[in-house]
Amino acid sequence: MRSHLTKFAVLGLTTVLLAGCANNGLLSKNPFKRNKVEATQRNMPAPKIGVNSYLWRASLETLNFMPMSDIDPFGGVILTEWYSNPEAPQERLKVNVYILDTQLRADALKVGVFKQVQGANGWQDAPVDADTGRTIENAILTRARELYIASN
């Protein structure tokens, strides 16, 4: 009889301890749940990007058809891979976008466009029409203004 009481006591104590651990999140299957209370209590703000968010989002949306090579939201750099339009497979373009400021201004955006054409010796650099870069800049600025207006 005494061994039954000891077993029940141990079982009861174990149940209480495990229930306490579960309430504290220590036995949670999600390891991030444990620190949820700590993170909430610290009330830490989410990291912000280092450039104008409207220009950043507009740049990504405008160039979303191109594969991205490097994206740095803190430095404001978006570099694409080479992209060939299916209608002109002998040409390819690469675009670099630099967001230079936290303000929504036209001079806070710089777009570089590079072009190559395929010849007998493979891909070779080719001149880019100056309007191409301006057209992309204008599309980004227009979209950034739309995002700004929609947010207010």
Tell me if residue 62 falls in helix, strand or coil. Answer: helix
pLDDT band at 6 (very low <50, low <70, confident <90, very high): very low
pLDDT in tens, 11-69: 443 444 344 444 444 444 444 444 444 544 555 555 567 899 999 999 999 999 999 99
Please name every residue paired with 118 in a beta bridge, in sequence order, or none if there are none.
123
Give the least confident one: 22-26, 136-140, 146-150: 22-26
Torsion of CA 46, 69, 55, 131, to 10 degrees: 180
> Are 104 and 54 a contacting pair, CB within 8 Å?
yes
> Are 138 and 58 a contacting pair, CB within 8 Å?
no
Determine the residue type at 52.
N
The mean pLDDT value for 144-150 works out to: 96
Give the whole-angstrom CA distance, residue 126 versus residue 139.
23
Determine the residue type at 126.
A
What number of CA atoms fall less than 13 Å from residue 148's CA on the CB side? 14
User: What is the reported pLDDT for 80?
Assistant: 97
Tell me if residue 95 falls in helix, strand or coil. Answer: strand
Residues 8-38: b if buried by 16+ CB within 10 A, e if exposed: eeeeeeeeeeeeeeeeebeeeeeeeeeeeee
pLDDT band at 152 (very low <50, low <70, confident <90, very high): confident
Map out the domains of the chain with their CATH numbers. Answer: 2-42 (no CATH), 53-151 (3.30.310)
Of 28, 79, 26, 76, give the one whose Cα is nearest residue 54: 76
Q: Is the predicted pLDDT of residue 102 greater than 80, yes or no?
A: yes
